[in-house]
Amino acid sequence: MSVELALCLDRDLQRHNTLGLPCVAERFIDAESPARLAAAVAMAQQAGWPLTVLGGGSNLILPRRLSGLVVRPTFADWDYRRDAEGGIALRVEAGMNWHALVMASVDRGWWGIENLALIPGHCGAAPIQNIGAYGVELADVLESVELLHLDSGRYETLTGAACRFGYRDSIFKGALAGRVVITALNLMLSETPHPRLGYGDLATRVTDAPSPRDVAEAVVAIRREKLPDPAQLANAGSFFKNPLVSAEQAQHLLVDCPDMPHFAQPDGRVKLAAGWLIDRCGLKGVRRGAFGVHDRQALVLVHHGGGDAEGLLAFAAEIAAAVEERFGVALSREPRLAG
Ligand code: EPU
């Protein structure tokens, strides 16, 4: 069966990335169904076009020009089945907006993803960086990921364990980077109350027996206080990962800075707060031309307009260099570079 594809040339992507970076895609296709996605991938393979997959564009740094083909999966159905133990097996397609899924889930009284409210982006991108916030990561509820291999056109379902999830990390940033398109997620949620309120002051913002919606609303309120809304001020959320250092280095830093936030990890390393390190370098709220460090959360870089990927990367390098010089800690970037 042949599938009609609407190929768009020189498509402007500035409004399709939350950093608002100027970018023109040489070719662009909205894939409204898995069949159209497979056809678009086959077309790119045949023509030898480099392929870029675009989701919500919320964790991506786009260059001024993307050659080859940009494809955006927009299919967004979801359904679920209930198992005997009160488990909700939820399947959602890649193009669904993540926050819309969280709200649909809490509206039904399901537990599992309420702490991940208001994270921008599409569901298909969520496993790539293993989205996480307020003590919960996608990996905690993810049963499996459905994907399409670009080279063979073969569909596969990877179990959560096979996705090799880590902090802001997965196989999709490693061995499978640029080799697959995620088409759907299978999550296991629950009707049994299971609030996770251990992070920050989340517990003080809800009642003793909160509903999943109460928790999601508290998370939304906290995020709105600290994080800029991309619709008002372009940004990609955290620009750097929180660095992991040795216990020895953390001890050494704590001698000078006893108030430094630090979180011991199961593997013996210690996670530091990149936002705090940047803040302590006196960089919170600084602005250099088109780009700045957000004035309420130093981990977020903002774009005031008129800049491009090159300018953003230079600004980020300046911040990382300041942290390295002051604390001897290397910061690594969170959003991925496209193209
Ligand atoms: N801090 C400062 N100054 C700042 C920012 C933070 O002193 O400008 C301190 C805070 O006071 C706190 C510590 O650093 O003691 C950690 O700050 P926060 O709780 O705001 O969290 P974070 O570690 O900066 C991470 C995630 C966020 C997520 C929050 C809550 C990463 C890279 N970022 O930020 O994720 O919302 O925890 O779980 O892990 C995102 O990925 O886009 C994102 C926003």
Q: What's 48's domain CATH number?
A: 3.30.43.10
Which residue is associated with the tokens 């498509």?
11
How much is the pLDDT for 293? 98
| Distance of CA 154 from the midpoint of ligand 1 (Å) | 39
Q: Single out the catalytic residue among 137, 146, 238, 280.
A: 238
> What CATH code is carried by the domain that includes residue 153?
3.30.465.10
Last residue of a domain, one of 42, 73, 104: 73
Q: Is 253 inside a domain boundary?
A: yes
In a domain, 277, yes or no: yes
Give pLDDT, residue 85. Answer: 84
Domain boundary among 30, 47, 73: 73
d(CA 116, CA 137): 8
Q: For residue 238, which atom of ligand 1 is closest to its CA?
A: 42
**Is residue 182 within a helix (H) or strand (E), and if so which, with residue range?**
strand 180-190
Q: Are residues 198 and 151 in the same domain?
A: yes
Same domain, 192 and 151: yes
Note the pLDDT of residue 39.
96
Residue 237: CB atoms within 10 A of its CB come to 24
Q: How far is the CA of 227 from the centre of ligand 1 (A)?
A: 10
- The CATH number linked to 248 is 3.90.78.10
Q: What pTM does this model have?
A: 0.96
Same domain flag for 124 and 193: yes
Position in ligand 1 atom list of the atom nearest CA 115: 38
Looking at residue 3, its pLDDT comes to: 80
Task: Please say which residue of 50, 73, 96 terminates a domain.
Answer: 73
Residue type, 280: R
List ligand 1's pocket residues with C-beta within 6 A. 133-134, 199-200, 226-227, 237-238, 241-242, 261, 273, 275-276, 279, 284, 297-299, 334
Q: Do 139 and 160 form a contact (C-beta atoms < 8 A)? A: yes
In a domain, 1, yes or no: no
Considering the domain architecture, whether residues 153 and 249 belong to the same structural domain is answered as: no
Within a domain: 2: no
> What is the rounded distance in angstroms from the CA atom of residue 65 to the CA atom of residue 60?
14
What's the rounded Cα separation, in Å, for the pair 122 and 59? Answer: 10
248 shares a domain with 145: no
The reported pLDDT for the residue numbered 1 is 56
Query: Does residue 3 belong to any structural domain of this protein?
Result: no
Q: Which of 294, 296, 329 is nearest to 315 (CA)?
A: 294
Per the domain annotation, does 263 fall within a domain? yes
CA 54 to ligand 1 center in whole angstroms: 26
Within a domain: residue 276? yes
Beta-bridged to residue 182, according to DSSP, are 147
Residues of the chain with pLDDT under 70: 1
Instruction: Kindly state whether residue 307 falls inside one of the protein's structural domains.
Output: yes
Domain shared by 126 and 219, yes or no: yes
3 state SS of 144? strand
Which H or E element spans position 214? Answer: helix 212-226
Residue 104 makes CB contacts below 8 A (sequence gap 6+) with 78
Count the domains in the chain: 3
Q: Which residue of the set 146, 168, 170, 280 is catalytic?
A: 168
Ligand 1, atom 16, lies closest to the CA of: 273
> Structural domain of residue 241, as residue ranges?
228-337
